[in-house]
Structure 1
Amino acid sequence: MFPLLPTRRVPVTLVCLWGVLLLLGAAGCGGLSSDDMRSRMIKRPPDPEEEQPAAPRLAAAKPAEPTQTTPAAQDPTQPASPQPPASTGASVAQTAADAGDKPAATAAASPQPAEPLPKTPEARARRSAENLEKIAAALEQYREVKGRYPLYAIADSTRAPLLSWRVELLPFLGYKDLYLKFDQQQPWYAPKNKALLSEIPPVYMSSERGDLKTNYLAPMGSATIFQKLRTLHPRRIEDGLINTVLLVEVDDPLAQEWTKPEEYPFNPGKPKEGLGTLRGGQVFLAWGGGTVGSVSLKSSDEEFKAIFTADGGEPYTMASLNHPIDFAAAAGPGASVAAADDSPSGSAPATGGALSTRQSPAGAPRSALAEKFLRASAAALSENTPTDAWRWFCASLAISGPSGELEWYPALRRPAPALHFGVGVAANAKQNQGNHKARTRALTKSELENATAPFGKTLIDAIEKHAVKASLTSYVQPVSESRGRRGGGRSFSREAAMTVLPEGDEADIRNEAMRVGCDVLALFEVDENQRSKHRVVRLRLYDLVGRKELLTSRRLTYNPLETRRGDQDDNEDLSEAKWRLDDLLEDGLSPAPWPVTLNANIAKRRVASLAGSRDPFPPRVIAEMLFYRNRGLIDNAEVLSALEELLGNGAGIDLLLGSDSKRRRVLREWLPNSSAEDLRARVEGRKNTQGNNGN
């Protein structure tokens, strides 16, 4: 019926293509999920390493002997070209070995035995925060070594997820041997891999349950750092690495087997879902860069969405939303305070005992570390070491800020919680002639009076009397008996908390006074002729922060051949020096009303000025910044910016938002050499001994 069509040979390739299309149609649409499509539609170009597929996993190499260091070498089964980002089991373990086997978190080479679960809600919160710290530190070390965070899963050549990133991180936590036990060509539920669930490292373990599931998951979504097809490269996190959440503690219903490649499913429509019920309304989390903190569930949905998205462009930052973890609040309403032996390193605030601290009426609550430093200050006063007492005290304020108001001191033109007085005697060339040798230790009050006689005692008594009024004992008080000094004569009152500096030249004394954080230096210049015993004394008072002179007395001259020592009280020059000193102490170095009404604009300008401060003792500057923050005049973002300028990049974040260990590291340059824990134990032990002897 129809004319014959010309016959034409159909290419074999076309027939095969039709067959493939028919099979796909029979199988259904399938394809990528909406999240995957959005991920691929991202506007920015991907990094080269992000485009490379995950390599097939190889059989794990035999681990090196514990006493040997495996040399870094190219795997002979791999090509010489650069490796894709998903490393083989052997290469990840080798990378950890090449890095010196020095994981960021302290761990043994094999899994440690599980620790007993904490007994109290506060101790459980503390354990969880410590776990987050260790995991975050290991993730940061992985990023430093590999240039990126791990993929969310160890995958096969088809990108099918087999094992969680928590397995790949094991060598960086110190569990290289455990890592090498996994068959990385099989999924987590394969018999060999499933048998390893029971070897869960304590760092992944829930502090509530202690089972084989973990609550520490990576947020997963189309705009988070961890994504199904890739892990976002740090350079591509447009909101800033430190402003984006890397790891979060989820509620128990969302906990997963620790080797299972299943993470926290971030839902932009419900960004708080599955979070915060474990910790009294706080969400424990780790930010990019390794900072661990908490965000309150009282924060808005918009704010919660912002912390998880890597490139949302929202006007929120870590500094404005993150809070250092408050373990008491995280324990929930009515929770008991953790016992001292249930808190690692004695970091929980202690109550009672041989030391006392007096809480000022208003202000933000102190952190556990700030409380520990404050009690160390009281212990140092009990040991009659006022310089150490001041340094512990200022370190406490640099962590939590003053708990009350700052006083305005007109002569210093700045506020302060209290005034630290230093006193010293400057040696000169004539003094050093003959057999006289300058002392290298601090003088007692008796020695200071003798070195400045016959005028010094009158002036020293006036300074000591005023120092008692302005002392840190408004905040901390020694309650145990001081050991005192043996064979050194009378000392200054502990309540004055004055630092007596070693004899030396003026420059050395001023430098030492600035190093230990004195606010005001009373420097006696003594010029004495060793042969005639003719002596000239002059007093200078310095503002060490403002680097200016506050007072210079007339030269007070003593000639033993012309004047009897008992007549010096009638010396007109001494009388003038005394009333000028009294006027300065009462009018300039006593608290006065603030010259302005504090508001946000004034506080911001002041903090900007403090950020560029030349103050040789930064804890004092930081305390003032936190005072304005605690008053609500500036926010954490403004404090963080100022701290970064004052202390350098990284240190500001660690001090403001980091863990207690990070804060201590930032401040250690200005802390006493003694341990706060040892000092407190020593003083309390002496108190108990005295009590037993009394009984």
Structure 2
Amino acid sequence: MSIFVTCECGRRFEMPDEFAGLCVRCPGCGDGVAAPEPELATSPEVLFIGDEPEPTATSLKAVVSLVLGSLFFFACLSGLPAILLGSYALLEIGRSQGRLRGRVMAIAGIVLGMIGCLYTFSIGDAARPLARRAQCLNNLKYIALAVYNYNGDNGHLPAAAITDKDGNPLLSWRVAILPFLEEGDLYAKFHLDEPWDSPHNFALLDSMPSVYACPSDESLKPRTTGYLAVVGPGAAFEPDFKPVRFEDFSDGADKTILVSESPHAVPWTKPEDLPFDGVLPLAVLGSHHGSQNNGFNASFADGSVRFLKCAIRPSVLHALLTRNGGETFSTDSY
């Protein structure tokens, strides 16, 4: 195999390839010339024509990169391979000395792949708050369903608190419905004749079921919940801890609030909720808290969960907090 050497004097001459990389003497002028490496040596045909070689094929990596990049709807699933293959294609095309084409396709694949990855990250950031809000809604639905199933087994809703024989509140209704949240084992651990903060019961605060934690409320302290019942005369939960039956909801179960989001978080086993004496400020119902900042979610006695705006009229809110007030209003009111 031979290599071709070009001297500064313009003389071109052929040398055996074993002289590659060495200094050889030009037979024309006698000056020393560095012989090129074999892979860098050009054939005489190319040198005499003077043009770059015509591409004979398209880089397959460039094609695949463009295809994957175009599928940016699948985001990172195709975006990252598109970027990698496009980069390899550019490297391959550069080393082919003009034999491969597809540089534009490779660059396009890289760009589209980057767009897909950026799209994924932006969608992910937007989706996380939506997922947390959906989880808050599901939590309230599970709680309302547990209350409904408690009624099915006992003939009445749980009282606002588990009390001792003298009527003193010991534990929250949230403890009473544990068996209906598939937390029967946890329920069995409680000493129902002791207050929530007795040494034994207090230790169980750490076992709070996830259904009582709103993922959108980052201000919640550990072992506390912002899902509170409305407790008051005529509400779904009576302040004297007497249980209420569904037959008592003359206004309709779909028009009476059971549990609401609230910024007033409490230890989840503590028998403390939202006291209602005819007036309940919106501030304690989560107008600047929880899964939304322009309203709050509430579960109703029929098991539904609805978002109530802060702009709700006080008279309508009052009607929703009572089970037998006899008020009439349309769902458009809230």
TM-score class normalised by the smaller sequence: 0.5 to 0.7
Question: Which one of 266, 277, 284 corresponds to residue 256 of structure 1?
Answer: 266
Partner of 1:130: 138
Question: CA offset at residue 289 of structure 1?
Answer: 1.3
Q: Would you say the 8 A contact 1:162–1:261 is kept in 2?
A: yes
Larger Rg: 2
CA deviation string 1:210-244 (max 9, x = no partner): 62111111101112010122132211222112211
Distance 1:270 1:159, change over 3 A: closer
Q: Would you say the 8 A contact 2:158–2:244 is kept in 1?
A: no
Is structure 2 residue 228 aligned with structure 1 residue 217?
A: yes
Partner of 1:192: 200
Over the matched positions of the two proteins, sequence identity in percent amounts to 34
Question: CA offset at residue 293 of structure 1?
Answer: 1.1
Partner of 1:243: 255
Is structure 2 residue 324 aligned with structure 1 residue 316?
A: no
Unaligned runs of 5+ in 1: 1-117, 323-695
Q: Equivalent residue of 1:274, what SS?
A: helix
Question: Which one of 182, 186, 189 corresponds to residue 190 of structure 2?
Answer: 182
Question: CA offset at residue 271 of structure 1?
Answer: 4.0
Question: CA offset at residue 202 of structure 1?
Answer: 0.3
Question: CA offset at residue 206 of structure 1?
Answer: 2.9
Is structure 2 residue 164 aligned with structure 1 residue 151?
A: no
Distance 1:139 1:213, change over 3 A: same
Q: Using the alignment, how far apart are the partners of 1:267 and 1:280 within structure 2?
A: 25
Is structure 2 residue 288 aligned with structure 1 residue 277?
A: yes
Partner of 2:22: none
Larger proportion of strand:
2
Question: Which one of 139, 156, 166 corresponds to residue 147 of structure 2?
Answer: 139
Q: Using the alignment, how far apart are the partners of 1:270 and 1:170 within structure 2?
A: 27
Q: TM-score, normalised by structure 1?
A: 0.28
Partner of 1:494: none
Question: CA offset at residue 122 of structure 1?
Answer: 2.7
Q: Using the alignment, how far apart are the partners of 2:243 and 2:282 within structure 1?
A: 22
Question: Which one of 237, 246, 249 corresponds to residue 234 of structure 1?
Answer: 246
Q: Using the alignment, how far apart are the partners of 2:314 and 2:308 within structure 1?
A: 12
Distance 1:292 1:203, change over 3 A: same
Q: Using the alignment, how far apart are the partners of 1:119 and 1:189 within structure 2?
A: 39
Question: CA offset at residue 265 of structure 1?
Answer: 1.6
CA deviation string 1:430-478 (max 9, x = no partner): xxxxxxxxxxxxxxxxxxxxxxxxxxxxxxxxxxxxxxxxxxxxxxxxx
Q: Using the alignment, how far apart are the partners of 1:231 and 1:169 within structure 2?
A: 13
Distance 1:312 1:270, change over 3 A: same
Question: CA offset at residue 316 of structure 1?
Answer: 2.0
Q: Using the alignment, how far apart are the partners of 2:255 and 2:322 within structure 1?
A: 9
Q: Using the alignment, how far apart are the partners of 1:241 and 1:313 within structure 2?
A: 13
Partner of 1:305: 318
Q: Using the alignment, how far apart are the partners of 2:235 and 2:136 within structure 1?
A: 23
Q: Using the alignment, how far apart are the partners of 1:234 and 1:182 within structure 2?
A: 27
Q: Using the alignment, how far apart are the partners of 2:179 and 2:280 within structure 1?
A: 35
Q: Using the alignment, how far apart are the partners of 2:193 and 2:280 within structure 1?
A: 36
Q: Would you say the 8 A contact 1:206–1:213 is kept in 2?
A: no
Q: Would you say the 8 A contact 1:249–1:284 is kept in 2?
A: yes
Alignment of 1:471-482 (within 5 A): none
Structure 1 letter corresponding to 2:227 = Y
Question: CA offset at residue 287 of structure 1?
Answer: 0.7
Q: Using the alignment, how far apart are the partners of 1:199 and 1:239 within structure 2?
A: 37
- Aligned length, in residue pairs: 202
Q: Would you say the 8 A contact 1:143–1:149 is kept in 2?
A: yes
Partner of 2:67: none
RMSD across aligned C-alpha pairs, in angstroms? Answer: 1.9
Distance 1:321 1:146, change over 3 A: farther
Alignment of 1:451-466 (within 5 A): none
Q: Using the alignment, how far apart are the partners of 2:333 and 2:307 within structure 1?
A: 8
Distance 1:271 1:305, change over 3 A: farther
Partner of 1:680: none
Q: Equivalent residue of 1:285, what SS?
A: strand
Structure 2 letter corresponding to 1:186 = E
Distance 1:248 1:270, change over 3 A: closer
Structure 2 letter corresponding to 1:199 = S
Question: CA offset at residue 120 of structure 1?
Answer: 3.9
Q: Would you say the 8 A contact 2:233–2:277 is kept in 1?
A: no
Partner of 2:73: none
Distance 1:316 1:123, change over 3 A: same
Q: Would you say the 8 A contact 1:148–1:233 is kept in 2?
A: yes
Q: Using the alignment, how far apart are the partners of 2:134 and 2:200 within structure 1?
A: 34
Q: Using the alignment, how far apart are the partners of 1:270 and 1:154 within structure 2?
A: 24
Question: CA offset at residue 132 of structure 1?
Answer: 0.6
Partner of 1:161: 169
Alignment of 1:419-434 (within 5 A): none
Structure 1 letter corresponding to 2:155 = G
Alignment of 1:661-672 (within 5 A): none
Question: CA offset at residue 267 of structure 1?
Answer: 4.6
Is structure 2 residue 271 aligned with structure 1 residue 286?
A: no
Q: Would you say the 8 A contact 1:250–1:274 is kept in 2?
A: yes
Question: CA offset at residue 266 of structure 1?
Answer: 2.3
Question: CA offset at residue 142 of structure 1?
Answer: 1.1
Moved over 2 A (4+): 118-124, 266-271, 319-322
Structure 1 letter corresponding to 2:246 = P
Unaligned runs of 5+ in 2: 1-125
Question: CA offset at residue 146 of structure 1?
Answer: 1.6
Distance 1:129 1:156, change over 3 A: same
Q: Using the alignment, how far apart are the partners of 1:320 and 1:173 within structure 2?
A: 32
Question: CA offset at residue 188 of structure 1?
Answer: 0.2
Structure 1 letter corresponding to 2:325 = G
Structure 2 letter corresponding to 1:131 = N
Question: CA offset at residue 119 of structure 1?
Answer: 8.8
CA deviation string 1:645-679 (max 9, x = no partner): xxxxxxxxxxxxxxxxxxxxxxxxxxxxxxxxxxx
